Structures are given as structure tokens and as C-alpha cells.
Amino acid sequence: MTAAGGAQRRGLEVSEVTPGTPRFETVLALAAQVLRQDRYLLTEVPAALESHVLGAFDGSDCTGFLRYVIQVIGAEAGRPPVLSEGIPLREGYVEAFGVGPRFRRRGIGTRLQDEAVRRCKAAGCYQMRSRSPVTSTENYALKLAAGYVLHPSSENDSYYFLRRL
């Protein structure tokens, strides 16, 4: 672990980045130029209790990113909360995720996902959830290897992935 709370191993650092900082700008540039996900890093998520952006860095190079929010399960769909011992169950929802094409197949996506899971567990989340389009087959392999289950979306051509924490 680094002093800032990010995971570090083999020269790769995964840490939280904050809007308005130089590192956030490098994450935003990767998301915009290569993966066209920059809007998902910037949009407000009304149901979110917390929002976090993780960046993966090899020196000064941003190699990948993951944005997750913590929310009460079902809040974004207007559902009443499911209570456990009187407390609403919360989840970590992955809003954006990507690894630059030249950095893929090096474990960076797994490292980002693992760090998000670790942080969501520490925050008391019951589950992790994400949605991926049917064209994201590389992401499917990563999620299935990490123990996620999947469910087809009835809204569009995508799958929801869920993992109990």
C-alpha cells in the first residue's frame, strides 16, 4: 500500500484521484481520447452517497481508471431500500471502467476492480454491481474470473454483473 491508500506492486500504482488535480486530468484524457468514457467520470449520479475515481499509473502514464459510486441498492430505480438489521443495504456501482489499449492484458483492470471491491467492503457495502454492453467481451472475462454473476438487462443490449461482498 502507498501512503495515500492505493495499491502498489510491480511499478503500478492504483490510487484515488480528485477532480481538479493533474492526475485526474490524465485519467480524464485517457477516458476521453481512447475509450470515450469521460462523460461517465463527470456526470452526477443522483442516488450516489459517495463517488470515487481510481486511476492506475505506471510512472506518469495513466494506464486505466474506474469510477464507482456507493448508493443504497435500488435507490436509482426508485425502489424502497432492503433493510438488514434495520440498515439499508448499499452497493458499489461501477459507473466507468477502462484500460488503455496498449496496457491491456497486464492485470491492470483486475487491480482496479480489486481495489474498488476492497474499498467498498471497507465502506460496508453488501455488493458490487456494474453494467457492460454486449460488445465488451474482454470485460466479461475479467468479471467472471472475479466471481461475478450476470443478468441480461431488459433496457438495452447489456448485461448486469453482480458480486456479493
**What per-residue confidence (pLDDT) applies to 7?**
45
| Residue 153: predicted pLDDT | 85
- Cβ-proximal residues to 110 (8 Å cutoff; 6+ apart), any chain: 142, 145, 146
| Whether the model pTM is above 0.85 | yes
C-alpha 65 chain-centroid distance: 8
Query: What's residue 51's pLDDT?
Result: 97
Domains of the chain, with CATH numbers? 7-164 (3.40.630.30)
pLDDT tens for the chain, residues 1 to 165: 343 444 444 589 999 999 999 999 999 999 999 889 999 999 999 999 999 999 999 999 999 999 999 999 999 999 999 999 999 999 999 999 999 999 998 999 999 999 999 999 999 999 999 988 777 777 788 889 899 999 998 877 889 999 999
Rounded-to-integer distance, Cα 11 and Cα 61, Å: 11
* pLDDT for the residue numbered 5: 43
